[in-house]
Amino acid sequence: MDFSIDLKGKTALVTGSSRGIGRATGLLLASLGVRVIFHGTKESPQLLSAVEQAGNKAEKITADFGNMEEVKGFIRELEERNLVPDILILNASVQSYTGLENFSEEEFSRMYRTNVESSFLLIQAFAPYMRKKNWGRIIFVGSINGAKPASRLALYGSTKAALMNVAKTAAMENAPFQITVNTILPGVITTDRNAAVLSDAAFAENLKEKIPMRRFGNAEECAFLISFLASENASYITGAEIPIAGGLQL
Ligand SMILES: NC(=O)c1ccc[n+]([C@@H]2O[C@H](COP(=O)([O-])OP(=O)(O)OC[C@H]3O[C@@H](n4cnc5c(N)ncnc54)[C@H](OP(=O)(O)O)[C@@H]3O)[C@@H](O)[C@H]2O)c1
């Protein structure tokens, strides 16, 4: 038996990889010999530095997933540049503290377009290529809020819950083609996304008290789990939902 992760020769698209969990995942996969396509909403110093740090096989592409025309253009561009992924990591999302009583129509549809509809389009576009190869990995970066409600995150949590259902359908339909589809469920991970709220020391301490392990997670811990799920070693795991939350899901 060999415990090393061999993904050389594979191409991975990591959506939302200019920063945070996506960036750490892209960098780890690149270090394992994967050709990684980094993505952000726009050209930015963060996106450029991720690609530079990853080395010579990395690529970059931009699109705002809140705009379906941009998502379609993004897919076309990947096909034209021969950057069709064997490993699709659906990590990009938008999040706001939007509850049942304070959402606007525009906020509602923007979040569903970005988090849910774009994932449907990316799977629809790239699963057929994986099927032809009889190999593929689709990994959703969900959230414990997809399974565990939080009032201030009602809208965001509902998009993550929708994706958990999509992932299971995709797992079932693609299993005969040796394509695995799994979801990781992060808890509180220190990234740019929550830097502002966690900078309130009293709030952060109070939140840590609710986490059985009494600490926040980091992007690298998520990257290890995602890279394992992408590897050959995880070829019999499909339709799984794996919390990475220090016990906060309990
Ligand atoms: N951090 C946590 O505690 C936590 C907990 C549970 C789940 N998650 C999930 O983990 C994933 C990554 O989170 P993170 O904390 O690493 O996020 P982050 O640091 O905020 O990074 C978000 C990434 O998504 C991209 N993005 C933002 N808006 C987008 C849009 N409209 N269209 C396309 N891409 C967009 C950003 O690109 P730009 O740089 O161009 O803006 C960036 O690359 C998300 O799905 C999130 O829901 C995170």
- As for ligand 1, residues whose beta carbon falls within 6 Å of it are 16-22, 40-42, 44, 46, 64-66, 91-95, 114, 141, 143, 186, 188-189, 191-194
Q: What is the CATH number of the domain that holds 189?
A: 3.40.50.720
Confidence of residue 1 (pLDDT cuts 50, 70, 90): confident
Q: How far is CA 169 from CA 118, 142, 151, 202, in A?
A: 16, 15, 27, 41
Residue 178's domain spans which residues?
11-244
Q: What is the mean pLDDT of residues 78-104?
A: 96
Per-residue model confidence (pLDDT) at position 154: 95
Residue 2 lies in a domain: no
- pLDDT at position 147 over 80: yes
Residue 151 lies in a domain: yes
Q: Which atom of ligand 1 is nearest to the CA of 93?
A: 45
Structure tokens given for 162:
């929708």
Residue 4 lies in a domain: no
Per-residue model confidence (pLDDT) at position 227: 98
Alpha-carbon distance of 78 to 74, in angstroms, equals: 6
Per-residue model confidence (pLDDT) at position 56: 80
Per the prediction, the chain carries an average pLDDT of: 97
Q: Is 156 a catalytic residue?
A: yes
Q: What is the mean pLDDT of residues 158-164?
A: 98
Residue 250 lies in a domain: no
Residues 98-131: tens digit of each pLDDT: 889 999 999 999 999 999 999 999 999 999 999 9
- Are residues 85 and 36 in contact, defined by beta-carbon separation less than 8 angstroms? no
Residue 74 C-beta-side C-alpha neighbours within 13 Å? 28
Q: Which atom of ligand 1 is nearest to the CA of 110?
A: 31
> For the chain, how many structural domains are there in total?
1
Of the candidates 143, 140, 165, 151, the one whose C-alpha atom is nearest the C-alpha of residue 226 is 140
Alpha-carbon distance of 109 to 132, in angstroms, equals: 34
Residue 25 C-beta-side C-alpha neighbours within 13 Å? 33
